[in-house]
Structure 1
Amino acid sequence: MNSQLECAMEGLIKVFHAYSAKEGDKYKLSKMELKNLLHGEFCDLLAGSKDPLVVEKIMNELDENKDGEVDFQEFVVLVAALTVACNEFFVESLKG
């Protein structure tokens, strides 16, 4: 039986590859694949943004090697940053 953390890691990998396999390099997210992933998986977080260029800005921040695509390592940076932000919100709400 896998631990909760192992299951979370497996889920992260599966989600990435479900979106990255749609077009082009199946191991990287194109801009459209990233947009679809963000809208499909982080819809509530994106709904709070009024910036029409939010996906473009996220792509530019994540694409460290500037190849126009987001690989798994670059994607994990986004997930880690969002996880830290959510944890900070959770901790603050407990202090209440």
Structure 2
Amino acid sequence: MTQLETAMAILMKTFDTYAAADGNKGSLSKGEAKTMLEKELPGLLKAAKNQAEVDKLLGGLDFNGDSEVDFSEFVVLVAALTCACHGRCKK
């Protein structure tokens, strides 16, 4: 596989691993999303000044308001964080 194909496979595997924790493989509950952030993005959580910032981030992931994070919302998070880390996003 190419590097990009590998990256895509890793994103899918990561989402599926955490989404499967409560039995609903189609989305991340708030608890699953928090666990994923803690294990997969520990540097991001360390940079957060307080728990309210983390809760705001988690709430911001749920674009459609269903109290869960589906794969599309997860991919948007990863893309936004990647842009921010790469310095190409304006905000």
Same fold (TM over 0.5): yes
Question: What is the RMSD of the two structures over their aligned residues, measured on CA atoms?
Answer: 1.3
Matched residue of 1:53: which SS? helix
Say if 2:78 is the partner of 1:83. no
Distance in 1, matches of 2:12 and 2:43, equals 21
Question: How far apart are 1:55 and its partner, in Å?
Answer: 3.0
Highest Rg: 1 or 2? 1
Answer yes or no: is the 8 Å Cα contact 1:20–1:30 preserved in 2.
yes
Which amino acid in the other structure matches residue 7 of structure 1? T
Counterpart of 1:59 in structure 2 is: 58
Matches of 1:55 and 1:48, distance apart in 2: 10
**TM-score, L = length of structure 2:** 0.90
* TM superposition shift of 1:78: 0.6
Runs of 4+ in 1 over 3 A off after TM superposition: none
1:54 positional shift: 2.7
Greater CA drift, 41-50 or 31-40: 41-50
TM-score norm. by structure 1 comes to: 0.85
Structure 1, unaligned runs of 5 or more: 90-96
Q: In structure 2, how many angstroms separate the alpha carbons of the residues matched to 1:55 and 1:17?
A: 22
State whether residues 48 and 54 of structure 2, in contact with CA within 8 Å, keep that contact through their aligned partners in structure 1: no
How high is the sequence identity, in percent, across the aligned residues?
Answer: 50
